[in-house]
Homo-oligomer: A and B are copies of this chain.
Amino acid sequence: MTTDFPVLQNDRLLRAAKGEEVDFVPVWVMRQAGRYLPEFRELRVEHDFFKICRTPELACEITLQPIRRFELDAAIIFSDILVVPQALGMKVEMKPGVGPVFDSPLVNPQHLDRLIIPDVKQELKYVFDAITLTRHKLEGKVPLIGFTGAPWTLMAYMIEGGGSKTQSKAKKWLYQHPEASHKLLKILTDVNVDYLVEQVRAGAQLLQVFESNAEYLGLREFKKFVLPTLIDINKRVKAKLQEEGLEQVPMTVFAKGGHFVLKELGESGYDVVGLDWTIEPQVGRQLAGDKVTLQGNLDPCALYAPADHLEDIVKEMAAKFGNNRWIANLGHGIYPDMDPESVKNFVTFIHKYTKSP
């Protein structure tokens, strides 16, 4: 497929990410292509979750669903962070009502030998094909975001074998097997670098790194094990893009629950730092500094509020963030039982309260 794409008509997201002026603040929603949309659920009846990820036409269709409904300023490719452990040879299923379940989680450091270092271009080709197809189908309407799960977040899933309230098995590795932990994190960092570069080659216009499990760590372990991998990914992806003559794209890091590391993330080289809803906008700005764009951070549950109450909350949030260097979003992915009408209202209110005079 050609990567000679239609001209981009709405570059608000990219301008905001680079710190340039915008007519109003761009807005998108984490997990915007998801279960809260009836047209998504309809497709899921027929198709397994990971089958959708692996079928470019289906992944593309789902990516476009929210773009057809709402005046969003970005699309994000439909995929899952666990395609990376799958590419390393691990079996993962998505069980309804449970979430992801690993067939054989990593129980001890010897199990690292099971991992197969993948030819990323080949093993994750289906993601790149989905990105290229979606770029064409978007017809330049909005930019397309690519993403990956950060090494610690993936490591935690690979050891826990699914979701966990404490991540105590994965954290136990950090305390009991520091060498094996570094080794696993290095494998995941290396794969992530290639994975993100190939997403750009395929057509991704911004990259987001999801450190969804930051909240389980304190500063000590985060600095020792996690922060270096995040810094490394940003640096190496950008160097490789240049080396290979590919376009530079802005990069976002979102460490959910990482309130204790916002200063470090602000200095990590990423263009955008995502905030969860527990961070007050002014506090986030003070900690992350003036050189990055902030993204977030409405409480996902605020979308349950009646429209007039949601409007008040969005207005207050917009006033706190200001119109510069901000990408509006939720502070975490949208929940499956949300009324799509609330997303529509959220987008409307963001545009209303961030319009430049």
Question: A interface vs B, CB < 8 Å?
Answer: 163, 165-166, 168, 171-172, 174-176, 215, 217-221, 257, 259-260, 277-280, 283, 299-302, 304-306, 309, 313, 316, 331, 335, 337
Give A301 to B220 CA distance when docked, in angstroms. 12
For residue A283, which residues in chain B have a CB less than 8 angstroms away from its CB? 260
**Besides A168-B301, A168-B337, A215-B257, 19 new A-B residue pairs in contact (Cβ under 8 A), listed by A number:** A171-B299, A174-B301, A175-B302, A175-B304, A175-B305, A175-B309, A176-B305, A215-B278, A217-B299, A218-B299, A218-B331, A219-B278, A219-B280, A220-B299, A220-B313, A257-B257, A260-B278, A260-B279, A260-B280
Assembly of this chain: how many copies? 2
Contact in complex: A165, B168 (CB < 8 Å): no
Give A302 to B337 CA distance when docked, in angstroms. 37
Closest to A177 in B: B304
Contact in complex: B306, A176 (CB < 8 Å): yes
Give A331 to B220 CA distance when docked, in angstroms. 14
For residue A304, which residues in chain B have a CB less than 8 angstroms away from its CB? 168, 171-172, 175-176
Contact in complex: A171, B259 (CB < 8 Å): no
A247 CB to nearest B CB, Å? 36
Give A331 to B175 CA distance when docked, in angstroms. 16
Closest to A257 in B: B278
For residue A220, which residues in chain B have a CB less than 8 angstroms away from its CB? 299, 313, 316
Give A243 to B261 CA distance when docked, in angstroms. 46
A152 CB to nearest B CB, Å? 13
Give A271 to B283 CA distance when docked, in angstroms. 26
Give A176 to B174 CA distance when docked, in angstroms. 41
A98 CB to nearest B CB, Å? 12
Give A304 to B172 CA distance when docked, in angstroms. 6
For residue A215, which residues in chain B have a CB less than 8 angstroms away from its CB? 215, 257, 278
For residue A277, which residues in chain B have a CB less than 8 angstroms away from its CB? 218
